[in-house]
Structure 1
């Protein structure tokens, strides 16, 4: 039975530079990049070599730990370079793209006519499987597992996030087929959490729809899982982004995997914040086109809380739905800690006045306004974390690699993104997301 989700804890960062609801034309990239590091924990085994030609949807590499999980080319063209790092680790595969894509074609399917195993094999063969991630551990799902439920977050609550009513317009049929495919992969429910004003969901599908109310992180799937059907030790659930459900549905409708996204270009670093349509892996320089302002701005693949710092020669990430540009924080205020700063935002009231204007939007930069130091007990972590855990105690248990304590304190319930807000309000400037990622890797190695 569906139920609404309400949270009181959290924090909305109100930033300037929200994307206007219009799509700008951009040129097709000449080079596309696929980075195995986008798929945490996957050790790639190459299928193709430098100089070989590939079609869009053709397999580039597979996972050594689960050979059924394949990763495909977003476009057709010639493999320009396989970049390797230390110990010959594959860092990036670049593809010199054709002017027009030719696709690997699969037979269009109706998921309702297929068995669970046939749907799974179809997703694996096509390269759509990496869209499905598992909790615990926040990694690509193991194809041999049977999850107790599947969760789809259809709320974007992160700063300057894309408008789903806009980006998913006209995709109801693809979403319907995508949800029908996901239903075949679990004996439990497919849970979808939407914003109260959402109008993109199709009718007539057997899913559990929940409305989410509250501040960020209401849009994070861990928050939704905790409120709907919490994970217990030994259980696994799968999670999928709503945009990727549409890609899966389009695959079943057309027989082609179209790795295309409507990306939000947001932040004060853009002349005209708005939307563009681009393939996954497109060079950021081509995506932002001439829209980027002159000056020292940081390009972030994703949102300001969880995204990755990039340069414009790199590619659009596999899971990202926005590119953010904000001022680089390499300037410092003299006595900034001791002077009133009306145009700065802070959750603390020392020298700040942002609490007096809760609706005001800010042009924030990347300056952390402090240096790394030991943990300080402030009680602020708990104010922005709606999960039923003790954030600081869990972080400390991870740092000392105390597996029993990590289990007791809820390591199975979290992903790195769930600690983005605690990291933001941390006066100690600790890298919470990195700590949690290391903790999850320890659990994978020691517990499995």
Structure 2
């Protein structure tokens, strides 16, 4: 039965630079990269190509020795120009110089009747071999789903409330058929329900209409109302021993296109956002694109931080770096590499703060969009328990006590306090509002790994 969930806890980070709903053609992207660091939990990657090899879109590049059937494939056709490694030969990137015209590996297509008769095992093998399987993420832990497991349900968040988040109506335009077929495939992977979360306060994208056997749940409220972890918590909570899979709408479309077209289609629409972007817009590219084409002649100054993803949970990259595997957004913000004397005490309405603190008057302007830089305005200090973490976490957990349990490496308390229900993005707002400046997202991942590998 569908639910309407009204959330009051949370906070919307209102930043200037949201992408306008128009497409823009930048200079063609020349290189693309697959980064094993994007795949949390990958420990033993095995490279299948070498520098100088030619590949097609869909050619396997590597796999994880823990799940050998799951292939990580090239998003484009071209030539392998670099296999970049770091300390202790840790694999960092596999870079591909793209062809002008993309060529594809051929995979089996499925008609509706063939899909109905295909076994679950056959579908899983097909998805794993073709490169689309990494779109499926397992809860707890937030790692790539294990094909040998069977989830009790699958969750899709159909909207995004992160700062400067792209509009899914734009990202998924024209993908109705692929999305519906992707949903049909997901139904074969679980004996439970497919849950789709949509916004309650505005019309859902047209791509979500006329879906069969999908439970559509509506959510209203501030961020993190769009987080799939919040949806799971309020609709079908995770208990110890439970497994739930999640996937974003782009992943559903990519699965659908695989069976419709018989190719690994890594094309995607990316939002260029942030106050430092001259053109905040959308552009067509492929997964793992180098951002130099989007940045060149499109930034207002040279002192800019490029973030793959959104400003709250995204990853800092170089101005010639690569978009991460799961990201549909490039954020360009002013770099905060300076010291500001009495910064938080000076009366101003130009700094966004959750706290109604001395001098920070942003609460008087509830609709204003702010130009914020990346300055932390402080350094780590004693953990102050103010109750603010609970006020931005719309889940029945105690974030402060959970953080302290992680710091103390208390396994029993971590389990009792909800470590199975969260990943980094679910508590990212706690890091934003934390007066003690703790790296909350890093702590969450540390706790998950302590439990996962204990």
TM-score by length of 2: 0.96
From 409, 412, 429, give the equivalent of 2:417: 409
Give the superposition deviation at 1:113. 3.5
CA–CA separation in structure 2 for the residues paired with 1:8 and 1:140: 31
Give the superposition deviation at 1:77. 1.2
Give the superposition deviation at 1:400. 1.6
Counterpart in the other structure of 2:51: 50
1:175–1:202 Cα contact (<8 Å) kept: no
The answer to whether the aligner puts 1:35 opposite 2:35 as a matched pair is yes
CA–CA separation in structure 2 for the residues paired with 1:5 and 1:116: 33
The answer to whether the aligner puts 1:212 opposite 2:213 as a matched pair is no
1:135–1:412 Cα contact (<8 Å) kept: yes
Q: Which runs of 5+ in 1 are unaligned?
A: none
The answer to whether the aligner puts 1:183 opposite 2:187 as a matched pair is yes
From 325, 334, 340, give the equivalent of 1:333: 340
SS at match of 1:9: coil
Deviating above 4 A after TM superposition, structure 1's stretches of 4 or more consecutive aligned residues are none
2:345–2:360 Cα contact (<8 Å) kept: no
Counterpart in the other structure of 1:250: 257
Counterpart in the other structure of 1:439: 447
Counterpart in the other structure of 2:16: 16
Map 1:94-243 to 2 at 5 A: 94-110=95-111, 111-196=115-200, 197-198=203-204, 199-243=206-250
TM-score by length of 1: 0.97
Give the superposition deviation at 1:246. 0.8
2:384–2:436 Cα contact (<8 Å) kept: yes
1:376–1:427 Cα contact (<8 Å) kept: yes
2:335–2:374 Cα contact (<8 Å) kept: yes
From 352, 358, 373, give the equivalent of 2:366: 358
Q: Which runs of 5+ in 2 are unaligned?
A: none
Counterpart in the other structure of 2:75: 74
1:350-381 deviation digits (Å, cap 9, x = unpaired):
21111111111111111111111121011110
Give the superposition deviation at 1:327. 0.8
1:227-271 deviation digits (Å, cap 9, x = unpaired):
000000000000000111111111110011111211111111101
CA–CA separation in structure 2 for the residues paired with 1:397 and 1:237: 24
1:173–1:202 Cα contact (<8 Å) kept: no
CA–CA separation in structure 2 for the residues paired with 1:113 and 1:203: 23
CA–CA separation in structure 2 for the residues paired with 1:95 and 1:156: 30
1:272-323 deviation digits (Å, cap 9, x = unpaired):
1000111111111023343222231111100010000111221111000101
